[in-house]
Amino acid sequence: MSIRQLPDTLVNQIAAGEVIERPASVVKELVENALDAGARRVDIDLEEGGVRLVRVRDDGGGIAPEQLPLAVSRHATSKIASLDDLEVVATLGFRGEALPSIASVSRFAISSRLADADHGAALQVEGGRVGEVVPKAHPRGTTVEVRELFYNVPARRKFLRAERTELGHIEEWLRSLALARPDVELRVSHNGRASRRYRGGEGERLALDEGAERLVETLGEAFAQAALRVEHAMAPRAFDGAGDASPGLRLHGWIAQPTYSRASADQQYLYVNGRAVRDRSVAHAVKQAYADVLFHGRQPAYVLFLELDPARVDVNVHPAKHEVRFRDARLVHDFVYRTLHEALAGTRAGNAPLVAAVSTQAQVSRELAASVDGRQQSGLPLRVDEARDAYALLYGARADGSQPDAPLAPATVQFGAQGGYAPCPRPARTASRRSASRSPSCTASSSSPRPPTGWWWSTCTPRTSASATRS
Ligand SMILES: Nc1ncnc2c1ncn2[C@@H]1O[C@H](COP(=O)(O)OP(=O)(O)O)[C@@H](O)[C@H]1O
Ligand SMILES: [Mg+2]
C-alpha cells in the first residue's frame, strides 16, 4: 500500500485510543479543563455510568465564540506557546488533544460564554465532523456535553464495563481531583439524581482547615482519624563549589498511622505540583519508610503533595499525563523517604506516639486555628521566615530563641540565591537498614517537643554565613 496522509478524524481517533479509555477519562479531561479555566464550581451530570452522557459545566473564564472551532482542533491550546512554556507548565492540560479526541469518538457539544460577553455560543461535533458556531444563551463559563461515547468505535465500546463499574472509575477520579482542590465545589449527579457533593472552601476557612474536611469527605472518618499531617520543606541551594546543588522541595499532606493500613494500594494519592500521578520511585520511598512499621503484605494509605520547581520535572512523558520524570529522582526519593521515616518515628513499637491523630474536621480547624493562627506555608519559592514563625507558634518560642511576638529578620529564599540554605543531610546508612539521622539542621526530631495535634512540621534551618561562603 502506498503511503498516504491520514484524515484528521482518524488521527484524532487514534489519539483518543491513548487518551480516552473510558468515561472516567472524559470526566478527567473535562474537569481538568474547567480547573485550568479557573472554575470555582463544577457540575458533572452522568447517565449510565457516563457512557450515555457526561456533561461538565463550569463557571470558569469561558471561550470566545470564534475560538470554539480551535478548541476542538488538534494541537490547539491556550496553555503553552513555546518550548520554554512547556518546560515550566503549571496548567493540568497543555497538549491540545483532549477535546478533539473526545469529539472524534462521541456526539459532542460545547457551549460557552466569556465573563464580559453579552452572548454565548455553541458548537457541535458529530463523530469528528465539526459543525457551525451558533449563538446560544449560556451563563458565564463552559458546558461540554459528551453523548454516546464510542458509538462509532465498536471495538472500544466492547471494553466498557457495567454501569456501576464505570461509575466507580469516575468516582475514583473525582475523589483524586477533589483531594487536590478543596477550594473547588464539585457536584455530581447520576441518572438524574444528585449523587455526590464536595463543598468548596475559600479564604480563611480553607486556610484553617487545610483541606482536612476534604479528607473526611473523600476518604472517610477512619482515614482522617489515623492521619498524621506532614509538612516538610527543603530550601533550594545553589551550587557553591562544595557539595551538590539542590532544588527546593516541599512535601505535605497526610499519611495514615500504621494502625490504619490497607490490603490493597487503593488509598495512595500522590500529586506533583498539583497533578495526580503515579511514580514508582516515590511509591518505593513511601514503602521503605513504612517498612518496619507495617505488617508484610499490608499497604500504607497516604495523600501526599510534592512541590518543586516546574523546570525540574518533566510532565510531558505520558499522553494522559499519569506519569512525570524528575530531573533529580534520587534526591526526591531520599527526601520523601526521610520525611516519612521521621514522621513515622513516633509510631514505632516501644515509642509513645509523638503526634496525635487528626480526629474530626471541626477539631482540626479549632486546633489549627489555635496553634498556627491560620498561617500556611506558601508554595515555592519557600519563605523560611514563615516556616519559622509557624514553628514558633506551635512550640511557644522561635527556633532562634526569641519570643514569637518579636519581629524576625526576613529570610526569603529564592532559586539560585547566592549562599542559600543547607538541605537536611542525607540519612546515615546503618548496618541493618537505612535510618534517618537526627540532624541538627532539621528542626523536628523525635527529641523535640511535639505539637499537640496531628501536625508534623519540619523545616531546614539556614546555613551560617561561614558555611554558606565556603569556596
Ligand atoms: N472548560 C473550559 N473553559 C475554558 N476554556 C476551555 C475549556 N475547555 C477547553 N478550553 C479551551 O480549549 C483548549 C483545548 O482544550 P484541550 O483539548 O483539553 O487541550 P488542553 O487542555 O491541553 O489545552 C484549551 O487550551 C482551552 O483554551
Ligand atoms: Mg485539556
**pLDDT at 320 (0 to 100):** 79
CATH number at residue 454: 3.30.230.10
Is 156 found in the same domain as 62? yes
Q: Are residues 162 and 310 in the same domain?
A: no
Q: Read off the pLDDT band of 243 (50, 70, 90).
A: low
- Give the residue-averaged pLDDT of 53-80: 95
Domain annotation covers residue 3: no
Evaluate whether residue 171 is within a structural domain.
yes
- Distance CA(423)–CA(460), nearest Å, equals 6
Domain boundary among 165, 200, 235: 200
Q: With respect to residue 1, please indicate whether it lies within any of the assigned structural domains.
A: no
Joined together, the cell numbers standing for residue 5 give: 496522509
Pocket of ligand 1 (CB under 6 A): 29, 33-34, 37, 58, 60-63, 71, 77-79, 93-99, 142
| Residue 172 and residue 272 share a domain | no
Residues in Cβ contact with 358 at an 8 Å cutoff, skipping those fewer than 6 apart: 212, 215, 224, 225, 227, 228, 229, 254, 364, 453, 454
Domain assignment present for residue 101? The answer is yes
**Helices 163-180 and 212-226 meet at what angle, rounded to 10?**
100
Counting Cα atoms < 13 Å in the Cβ hemisphere of 186 gives 28
Cis check for the bond before 154: say yes or no (omega within 30 of 0): no
Verify that 133 and 282 share a domain, yes or no.
no
Sign of CA dihedral 409, 412, 418, 423: positive
* Host domain of residue 106: 8-200
Q: What ligand 1 atom has the least distance to the C-alpha of 60?
A: 3
Residues with Cβ within 8 Å of residue 428, at least 6 apart in sequence: 435, 437
The pairing of strands 120-126 and 249-256 is unpaired
The reported pLDDT for the residue numbered 219 is 93
Average pLDDT, the chain: 77
Whole-number Å distance between alpha carbons of 151 and 311: 40
Nearest to 463, CA basis, from 394, 398, 413: 413
pTM for the whole structure: 0.75
Give the number of the ligand closest to the Cα of residue 72: 1
192 with 312, same domain: the answer is no
Where among 175, 200, 225 does a domain terminate?
200
| Model pLDDT, residue 341 | 95
Both 167 and 264 in one domain: the answer is no
**Domain boundary at 200, 220, 252, which?**
200
Q: What is the number of domains present in the chain?
A: 2
Pocket probe for ligand 1: among 99, 110, 316, the residue whose CB has the most ligand atoms within 8 Å is 99
pLDDT value of residue 344: 93
In a domain, 393, yes or no: yes
Residues 196 and 249 in one domain: no
Residue 97 C-alpha to ligand 2 middle, in angstroms?
Answer: 7
157 and 275 within one domain: no
Predicted pLDDT of residue 348:
67
Tell me, in angstroms, the distance from the centre of ligand 1 to residue 71's CA: 6
135: CATH = 3.30.565.10
Q: In this structure, are residues 275 and 321 in contact, taking their beta carbons and an 8 Å threshold?
A: yes
Which pLDDT band holds residue 302 (cuts at 50, 70, 90)?
A: very high
Q: 376 in a domain, yes or no?
A: yes
Look at residue 347 and tell me if it is in a domain. Answer: yes
On whether residue 100 sits in a domain, the answer given is yes
Specify whether 82 is located in the same domain as 132: yes
Regarding whether 311 and 347 lie in a shared domain, the answer is: yes
Q: Are residues 194 and 214 in the same domain?
A: no
Alpha carbons 271 and 304: distance in angstroms, whole number: 6
pLDDT for residue 458 is more than 50: no
CB-based contacts of 41, cutoff 8 Å, min separation 6: 58, 59, 184, 185, 186, 187, 200
Q: How far is the CA of 34 from the centre of ligand 1 (A)?
A: 8
The tens digit of pLDDT for each residue in 108-160 reads: 999 999 999 999 999 999 988 999 999 999 999 999 999 999 999 999 999 99
Looking at the fold, whether 310 and 451 belong to one and the same domain comes out as yes
